[in-house]
Amino acid sequence: AELVRQQKIIQPMRHSMNTTSDINYYILISPDRGDLDFEINKSRRMDFERYLESSGRFHGDGYARAIGSWKGLTESSYVLSAGIDETMAKETAENLRTIWQQDCVLIIRPDRSVINSSGKELGRLKNLSREAARAREDWTYRPDLDTYFVIE
């Protein structure tokens, strides 16, 4: 049962990517910026969702909403289906990082290892309890799965 629960974290949505493979990469990104006020970040989130829906790649079930903490600041986040090719996932993540002016966009590999858009190894995705995750500076919560995870 725990393995199934862990697999759900890296399979956040039905695939909208016209692929028959179960081996998928995912991108974790927040359109929020800590240096902007609430209303501007709210507008960025709405713009980001419109971007996802209109992209033809992430629309519908191609993404899931999440809540996270980055350097101790709570933010809205999204988990995006990024296909079966690591090079394409890196390029997509880097493009999103640039477009949305983010310090970091993460890529979750099929084996639960995590890298940033430039390919730097960051650790592995690990499930934690709410209390253990929120005691840390960086965490992500998937409300649709009622699951917290961190990178170790």
Percent of all residues in the chain with a pLDDT value above 70, rounded to a whole number: 82
Which of the listed ranges 2-16, 41-55, 80-94, 121-135 does the model predict with the highest average pLDDT? Answer: 121-135
pLDDT, one tens digit per residue, over 72-101 is: 889 999 999 888 889 999 999 999 999 999
Does position 2 have pLDDT exceeding 70, yes or no?
Answer: no
The first and second tokens of residue 91, run together, are 């390029």
Alpha carbon distance, N-terminus to C-terminus of the chain: 22
Residue 49 makes CB contacts below 8 A (sequence gap 6+) with none
Q: What is the pLDDT of residue 20?
A: 39
Higher pLDDT, residue 82 or 141: 141
**Mean of the per-residue pLDDT values for the chain?**
84
Looking at the DSSP bridge assignments, the partners of residue 121 are 115
Q: Which helix (H) or strand (E) holds 65?
A: strand 63-70
The stretch 101-107 carries a mean pLDDT of 92
Name the band, by pLDDT with cuts 50, 70 and 90, for residue 48.
Answer: very high
Tokens, residue 146: 């009622």
Find the helix or strand (DSSP H, E) in which 5 lies: helix 2-10
Q: How confident is the model at residue 61 (pLDDT cuts 50, 70, 90)?
A: low
**Contact status, residue 71 vs residue 91, Cβ threshold 8 Å:** no
> Among 98, 102, 100, 123, which residue's Cα sits nearest to residue 112?
123
